[in-house]
Amino acid sequence: MNKVKLLVVEDDRGLAEALEDTLLLAGYDCSMVGSSEEAILSLKKQSYDMVVSDINLPGMDGYGLLKHVTDHYPELPIMLMTAYGDIAHAVEAMREGAVDYLLKPFEEAELLEVIQKHTAGALDNKSSTLIAVDPSSKAMVDLAKRVAVTDSTVLICGESGTGKEVLANYIHTSSDRVNQPFVAINCAAIPENMLEAILFGYEKGAYTGAVSSQAGKFEQANGGSILLDEITEMDVGLQAKLLRVLQEQEVERLGGKKPIKLDVRIIATTNRDLASYVKEGGFREDLYYRLNVFPLKWSPIRERKGDIIPIAESLLKKHAVKMRLGEVVLMPSAQSKLESHRWPGNVRELDNVIQRALILCSGSSVEEQHVVFDMLSSEQVVEPESQLEENEDAASILGKGVQQHEFRIIAQALIEAKGKRKDVAEKLGISPRTLRYKIAKMREFGLEVD
């Protein structure tokens, strides 16, 4: 799923972890670093939609980073966080070009509100054009086009990163609803106890904390389409409520008295084999039949090889523009290396590999040696060829080391538990949701996690 990307700079480990949890649960993709120096390196490596930084940092402080960002990335919003009562610092930050500031300690809701304010619209530029060159993909897009003009519910299946959300967006924009809202919600990213209120909305006072009434995602999508991403990650109780909404075509807010009529096109996605999941008892059979009106299945990219190079070239162009690199060519040796890879992380992994190649190539052509798949395997150690790698500081190397160690522990635990994720989460003392997130990250790095 396309997400807003945040770079968060906080040296207090406890606070950094809390911020990371809050932002991940709210559906953001965030990179956490502990110093301005690491942030500057990170900004060179990939593009972000917003920077959120503490002011008091070891080495260069938040103002230094603010100056760097406003000088080098004038379009990139940056917000500073400062200690309670430090209003003078906050005012100075705004004068120097920060888009906002937060006084610590702050409420989660405050943080999310400011970030939402400054990143609204970021995703509009991200919705990719659907590239389909392989005959099997062309046939799929053709089917999608045909179903788009009907009002049928669509279920899109496929491995993680195959492009299910891109296809969902394509269906919406090819339908008569194109000028109406397209509302996407990732059922796996929202805490279970909040999902119901977010989907169906709530009235003031419906529960503690509901200080004002709020329309749910269904209401927001009225007239348009709703994408229920990773629908299987919704608990069985909520599945029953969703089924009722689909049957009745109306929704009732939590604590509400009257149903609200809906005219919404439903698109759901899953990366599970839904029929077997129904048999295992994880998903309601009646809901499955309701959703499975028109199933579309994206094959993994290794099975539609004709798409690899066209998508790679489009990604290369997109990232080269963002990194202000001019024209960069994908050489035949690099192309064959891309074509022969298994792509466990699908197009999302391809995206990462291309970004990495652009950093490593330091010229105007991507050669075979710049295509690096697996950051963990010893044959694939990245040589410090580019200036960036030479400049990489100890903290960033340590960060990578810690992450690789974590990946190894998770991989080992998965092997020992024969892939039973529930057991792995219990053993590692993390929630199944966190495990899922970490596994997705591993896949993005190109690790096979089956």
Ligand X SMILES: Nc1ncnc2c1ncn2[C@@H]1O[C@H](COP(=O)(O)OP(=O)(O)OP(=O)(O)O)[C@@H](O)[C@H]1O
Query: Which of 46/213 has CB closer to ligand X?
Result: 46
To ligand X, the closest distance from the beta carbon of 346 in angstroms equals 7
In sequence order, the 6+-apart residues with CB closer than 8 A to the CB of 52 are 6, 7, 8, 9, 19, 78, 79, 81, 115
Q: Which of 311, 366, 410, 435 contacts ligand X by CB under 6 A?
A: 311
Q: Which of 128, 352, 355, 386 contacts ligand X by CB under 6 A?
A: 128
Q: Round to whole Å and give the CA distance between 82 and 122.
A: 25
Contact between 199 and 242 under an 8 Å Cβ cutoff? The reply is yes
Give the alpha-carbon dihedral of 87, 89, 93, 96, to 10 degrees.
120
Per CB under 6 A, 351 contacts ligand X? yes
Q: What are the tokens at 209?
A: 């904390």
Per CB under 6 A, 348 contacts ligand X? yes
Q: Round to whole Å and give the CA distance between 101 and 78.
A: 9
To ligand X, the closest distance from the beta carbon of 56 in angstroms equals 35
Q: Which of 66, 115, 131, 183 contacts ligand X by CB under 6 A?
A: 131
Per CB under 6 A, 164 contacts ligand X? yes
Q: What is the largest CA-CA distance in the chain?
A: 65
Per CB under 6 A, 158 contacts ligand X? yes
Query: Which of 34/345 has CB closer to ligand X?
Result: 345
In sequence order, the 6+-apart residues with CB closer than 8 A to the CB of 65 are 9, 36, 39, 40, 51, 53, 57, 78
To ligand X, the closest distance from the beta carbon of 443 in angstroms equals 8
Query: Which of 53/153 has CB closer to ligand X?
Result: 153
Stretch that binds ligand X, among 23-31, 259-267, 345-353, 395-403 (CB under 6 A): 345-353
Stretch that binds ligand X, among 7-15, 36-44, 84-92, 162-170 (CB under 6 A): 162-170
Residue closest to ligand X (Cβ): 163
To ligand X, the closest distance from the beta carbon of 433 in angstroms equals 14
Contact between 128 and 312 under an 8 Å Cβ cutoff? The reply is no
Contact flags string 197-236 toward ligand X, x per CB under 6 A: --------------------------------x-------
Per CB under 6 A, 187 contacts ligand X? no
Contact flags string 71-110 toward ligand X, x per CB under 6 A: ----------------------------------------
To ligand X, the closest distance from the beta carbon of 152 in angstroms equals 20
Per CB under 6 A, 347 contacts ligand X? yes
How many residues sit in the footprint of ligand X (CB under 6 A)? 21
Per CB under 6 A, 444 contacts ligand X? no
Query: Which of 157/264 has CB closer to ligand X?
Result: 157
Query: Which of 111/296 has CB closer to ligand X?
Result: 296
Q: Which of 41, 114, 166, 371 contacts ligand X by CB under 6 A?
A: 166
Query: Which of 65/188 has CB closer to ligand X?
Result: 188
Stretch that binds ligand X, among 64-72, 124-132, 194-202, 361-369 (CB under 6 A): 124-132
Query: Which of 131/268 has CB closer to ligand X?
Result: 131
Per CB under 6 A, 163 contacts ligand X? yes
- Residue 261 is which amino acid? K
Q: Which of 175, 232, 271, 355 contacts ligand X by CB under 6 A?
A: 271
Contact flags string 251-270 toward ligand X, x per CB under 6 A: ------------------x-
Query: Which of 48/101 has CB closer to ligand X?
Result: 48
Q: Which of 36, 160, 232, 355 contacts ligand X by CB under 6 A?
A: 160
Q: Round to whole Å and give the CA distance between 260 and 249.
A: 9
Q: Round to whole Å and give the CA distance between 450 and 433.
A: 17
Which residues are at the interface with ligand X (CB under 6 A)? Answer: 1-2, 128, 130-132, 158, 160-166, 229, 269, 271, 311, 347-348, 351
